[in-house]
Copies of this chain bind each other. A is one copy, B any other.
């Protein structure tokens, strides 16, 4: 009889959970694996939409809830979050004795989970390593997590190569593409009226705005957001369009971004808390363009064939399918770039035909197949004998 492997996934925020979801859904449905989820950070906050309930409603067994998000706009917030996560997660792992931990990306939960796995002799699979984006405190964290993780699921082939050049064994690395694309692929089309009803506005031509603070520039977060929103306002008024804006993550600077949003909120510039996945995906399917600096623009927009205007330095250096135009915090530059994205048909046609380096929406299956075929008890997985 084959032993069922026990996997614990760790998640801290909605944006990262959306990437994790298709993978753990599939592992949970598989008879080879038992899966539990540790919920932390912004998930546990009413101020961020209480997305813990979403995870419970998705049908996962919850191993523990770990509060890790402090109310402070000081620079102490994120290292203290790592501290809370490590402490709480150690308690969880000591009780649950899993065979594998799985975690996504470059946030506090990625470094906390890989540290706990390293010291407690539990394998860690990390999704999203090797991505050379820089400018944020998150970026070196992603790299450090890769040096600690035992299995790497990469979202683009060049990222696999980056991991090898950083000293990781090639047999630990598996290209899966971005799991977020699985969501888009799997999500049924809904009547667009339901989208309009949800956001309480009649939408025809509209853009979506998704903007997060950049840690190295969080003191300018308010000014940067103001310039962005003034440009969005000019664009929308000139072309009789609307903008659906989504509230930012919980990093330092988010408070200032919200402040700016509240000043610009109107019948034309709509502010929305985190949206349910089906609303969000169908909203993007019908949008003219995406504006802001979310990783979605880089990673997921190609699957929507959606033009993106990335404002500021966040996401710089990441692999670009050709659908992303980078602009500075300059009013005219932003307006021009959005107009081109919305109305330049040649440019829009090019985007429709672009190849997507981030996979085809079958990541979850690739992960499951990889994990099903390896022998997790073979000590070669745990002991990293090649480190540079």
> A-side interface residues toward B, CB under 8 Å?
42, 44-48, 50, 62, 64-80, 82-84, 86-92, 94-95, 111, 114-116, 118-121, 130, 132, 134-135, 137, 139-148, 162-163, 165-167, 215-216, 250, 255, 317, 379, 382-388
Given the contacts A134-B387, A385-B134, A76 and B67 also touching, CB distance less than 8 Å: yes
Contact between A76 and B120, CB atoms less than 8 A apart? yes
Q: Give the residue among A68, A71, A84, A255 with the most B Cβ atoms within 10 A.
A: A71
Q: Which residue of B lies closest to A65 (CB)?
A: B94
Q: Which residue of B lies closest to A388 (CB)?
A: B162
Bound together, the chains give a CA A82 to CA B79 distance in angstroms of: 11
A78 to B90 CA separation, bound complex (whole angstroms): 10
Q: Which B residues lie within 8 Å of A62 (CB)?
A: 95
Tell me whether chain A's interface is mostly helix, strand or loop, or mixed. Answer: helix
- Residue in B50, B79, B83, B135 whose beta carbon sits within 8 Å of that of A383 in the complex: B135
| Contacting residues, chain B, for A166 (C-beta < 8 A) | 166-167, 388
State the CA gap A132–B167 with chains docked (Å): 10
CA distance A32 to B187 in the complex (A): 47
Contact partner, A139, options B70, B80, B142, B387, Cβ 8 Å: B387
Most buried by B among A62, A72, A146: A72
Contact: B86 with A71, CB < 8 Å? no
Question: Quick one: given A86-B83, A387-B143, are A71 and B48 in contact (CB under 8 Å)?
Answer: yes
Task: Determine which of B86, B115, B140, B384 lies in contact with A147 in the assembled complex, contact meaning CB atoms within 8 Å.
Answer: B140
Q: A76-B67, A78-B119, A120-B75 are in contact. Are A134 and B90 (CB under 8 A)?
A: no
> Can you add 7 more A-B contacts, CB < 8 Å, to A65-B74, A115-B144?
A50-B73, A64-B91, A82-B119, A111-B144, A134-B385, A146-B147, A216-B382
A45's nearest neighbour on chain B, judged by CB, is B71
Query: Which of B44, B64, B83, B134 makes the CB contact (< 8 A) with A74?
Result: B44
Can you report 15 A-B residue pairs in the complex whose CB atoms are below 8 A from each other? A45-B72, A46-B72, A46-B255, A66-B91, A68-B70, A91-B91, A132-B388, A134-B387, A139-B384, A143-B167, A144-B144, A147-B147, A162-B388, A165-B388, A166-B388
Evaluate contact between A88 and B86: CB separation under 8 angstroms.
no
| B121:A115 contact, CB within 8 angstroms | no
